Structure 1
């Protein structure tokens, strides 16, 4: 019998394939993604990671298993400290300074995604929360490994450091640990809770697609012209 996480992935499998086929990730794989789009993505992702880290910290505080507490607390630290260090390296490489970052407004999708995770953290239980957090781990691994498979030997990709981060074994181990925590929570939950977990996993997966799409479109607030 397959676990909840496998079933949730199968439920969203068409969406997960659409993530791989999105122009942002197609061009990222080819190394042809525009600098402007990647800069925009970096700015949004750096802000997203703060909200993601806060939601992970709530999961750690609620985790009934000491091992899961350790994992989610460590992941919260990684999201804010380690991954932001990777972003800062890219900021320097791609010529982004603090004033450039400040000029890039937080997009509607970025605000929506972080607000959703924090709302789940505040209004739902531990099983629903970790189900909502899982796509950020798993989708990035899925994208990173797919892009790595498509790299041509001897062809330099300016985004290779980003690709390698999410395609390595250490990150894959984190995904497995998160999946196991979600599967244990689902196995102990009643049917109504598992239904809410699936809804949370699906909505977060939708936000993952929207995040790539918003970066590719350089998404702005449609109401911004009212304040010009």
Structure 2
């Protein structure tokens, strides 16, 4: 069993909770509250901006061109392709994508970004990959699960979203990240492997929490005011 396979097995319970979450299952059923869709888009737009920055940190810690190319391709995918599922959500919520951008992060999304940034700043490439990987991996499996469970056709309101994450491009990019992680794990010390597993587990937990955050339209306990200069 490879290191990435062991990570997937150890976190199977979290993956299953994600698949069964009412927001995720609602995508398959074609019924998600519009406010939840809008809350998701606002948070995910800023989350993906941070995600690209963290890939940039991975580039800065790369010692060879193969790794630089790997992370460069991931940035390109987020920047140029992953806007498509956002547009699908916007269409179903009846909003303009540009109007959903520039909002403050809700607590869970804020914590998730800072968790990844922590590992990016102090960790090696293996640790960074473990913090990043649950995002594309869970979405890939969500797409596959929803395709198998609901068998949507092109009349389904979330057909573009589901098929985007179930398609070969997402699978290929995720597979490349897993392959690189497995090679890094072979050279890692016992302590490094523990840190990598901890980073992966917490990111899985925060993926689940992100769906809950969007579904409940989570906000800060006290409405934020303007920070004085």
Other-structure match for 2:216: 217
Whole-Å separation in 1 of the counterparts to 2:160 and 2:105: 24
**Residue 93 of structure 1: CA displacement?**
5.9
Within 1, Cα distance between the matches of 2:117 and 2:218? 22
Q: Cα offset for 1:104?
A: 5.3
Distance in 1, matches of 2:90 and 2:2, equals: 40
SS at match of 2:31: coil
Report if the CA contact (8 A) 2:134-2:204 is conserved. Answer: yes
- SS of equivalent to 1:194: helix
Q: Quick one: distance in 1 between partners of 2:194 and 2:43?
A: 30
TM-score by length of 2: 0.90
Runs of 4+ in 1 over 6 A off after TM superposition: none
Q: Is the contact made by 1:40 and 1:104 (CA closer than 8 Å) also made in structure 2? A: no
Alignment-derived partner of residue 18 in structure 2: 19
Runs of 5+ consecutive residues of structure 1 not aligned to the other structure: none
Correspondence for 1:180: 179
By how many angstroms is 1:176 displaced?
0.6
> Contact 2:88–2:158 at 8 Å: present in 1 too?
no
Indicate conservation of the 8 Å contact 2:4/2:181, yes or no: yes
- Computed over aligned residues only, the root mean square deviation of the Cα atoms, in angstroms, reads 2.2
Distance 1:151 1:214, change over 3 A: same
- In structure 2, C-alpha distance between the alignment counterparts of 1:103 and 1:70, rounded to whole Å: 29
**TM-superposition CA deviations, 1:158-184 (whole Å, max 9, x none):** 111111111001110111100001111
**Do the aligned residues in 2 keep the contact of 1:60 with 1:69 (CA within 8 Å)?**
yes
Structure 2 residues without counterparts, runs of 5 or longer: none
TM-score after normalising by structure 1: 0.90
Q: Which residue of 2 aligns with 1:170?
A: 169
